[in-house]
């Protein structure tokens, strides 16, 4: 069977892999992925052949995986978090019609889930996930999405908050949210979840605007009901518990 599995590896540690992800990677003859992600999981799958490409070569990476799968090798292409959330599932499926390959999408633990678990329970109600990367989405579209989510009082998770090229994007996003939300709104950040250097911090929205983050940071902005309860970020479901 000519098969390509698109596998979300969660945060990158073994505990963050789903049973389905482990099974797909154990069955694969070849694992393809971004250099950093291959490095993270290589120790858990000794003896497997890995092919990696640097950042910004996503389409080349997808074609490489599809070509090997169409040649008869059981292949997996990996991405962090969930394969269908800012992952490789979409481009693989867009390209798949050119190849005679069965595609299987393996769900993973996205950063919103793994980061939220460390912070407490910030996403117990409706929430929006928005990437601040404008490599593929125009900034005016991103700004509109932040504005709409803030106005509707969604809890907000921001992916890709900062890079060398986008040093001021997180501050700008916080300023947009503060048009509709108190500067004292409870927020949190989760860095390097499941990896060396794992770190979480709670802070106000005003403090978040000045916080240092990177591409391995997920940002959590609470809604108007979110609280700091014993050092944990908690958004109440609405039950009468107190």
Catalogue all structural domains in the chain, each as residue range(s) with its CATH number: 3-109 (3.40.1010.10), 112-234 (3.30.950.10)
Of 95 and 2, the one with more pLDDT: 95
Indicate the pLDDT class of residue 115, thresholds 50, 70 and 90.
very high
Indicate the pLDDT class of residue 1, thresholds 50, 70 and 90.
low
- The predicted pLDDT at position 241 comes to 83
Mean pLDDT of the chain: 95
Span 133-138, mean pLDDT? 93
Is beta strand 217-221 parallel, antiparallel or unpaired with respect to 102-106? unpaired
- pLDDT (tens digit per residue) in 63-91: 999 999 999 999 999 999 999 999 999 99
Tokens of 154: 């969604």
Backbone φ and ψ for 117, nearest 5 degrees, come out as -65, -35
Span 93-109, mean pLDDT? 96
Tokens of 200: 């979480």
Indicate the pLDDT class of residue 150, thresholds 50, 70 and 90.
very high
- The predicted pLDDT at position 62 comes to 97
| CA pair distance 138, 126, nearest whole angstrom | 25
- pLDDT (tens digit per residue) in 30-41: 999 999 999 999
Tokens of 1: 């069977």
Q: In 51-194, which ranges are continuous DSSP H helix?
A: 58-70, 89-95, 111-119, 139-151, 169-177
DSSP single-letter state for residue 48: -
3-state SS of the chain: helix, strand, coil percent to 5? 35, 25, 40
Of 52 and 238, the one with more pLDDT: 52
- pLDDT (tens digit per residue) in 120-132: 999 999 999 999 9
- The predicted pLDDT at position 166 comes to 78
CB contact at 8 A, 205 and 178? yes
Residues facing 76 on adjacent strands: 5, 31
């Amino acid at each position: 069977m000519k098969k390509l599995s698109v596998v979300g590896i969660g945060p990158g540690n073994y505990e963050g892999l789903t049973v389905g992800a482990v099974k797909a990677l154990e069955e694969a003859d070849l694992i393809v992925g971004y250099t950093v992600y291959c490095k993270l999981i290589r120790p858990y799958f000794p003896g497997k052949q890995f092919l990696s490409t640097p950042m910004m070569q996503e389409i080349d990476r997808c074609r490489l995986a599809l070509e090997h799968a169409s040649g008869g090798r059981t292949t997996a292409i990996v991405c962090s978090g969930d394969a269908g959330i800012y992952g490789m599932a979409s481009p693989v499926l867009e390209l798949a019609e050119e190849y005679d390959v069965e595609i299987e999408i393996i769900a993973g633990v996205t950063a919103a889930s793994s980061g939220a678990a460390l912070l407490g329970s910030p996403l117990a109600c409706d929430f929006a996930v928005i990437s601040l990367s404008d490599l593929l989405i125009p900034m005016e579209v991103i700004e509109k999405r932040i504005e709409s989510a803030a106005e509707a009082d969604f809890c907000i998770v921001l992916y890709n908050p900062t890079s060398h090229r986008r040093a001021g994007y997180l501050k700008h996003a916080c300023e947009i949210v503060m048009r509709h939300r108190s500067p004292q709104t409870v927020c949190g950040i989760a860095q390097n979840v499941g990896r060396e250097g794992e770190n979480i911090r709670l802070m106000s929205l005003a403090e978040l605007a000045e916080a240092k983050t990177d591409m391995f940071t997920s940002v959590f902005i609470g809604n108007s009901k979110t609280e700091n309860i014993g050092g944990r970020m908690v958004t109440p479901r609405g039950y009468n518990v107190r």
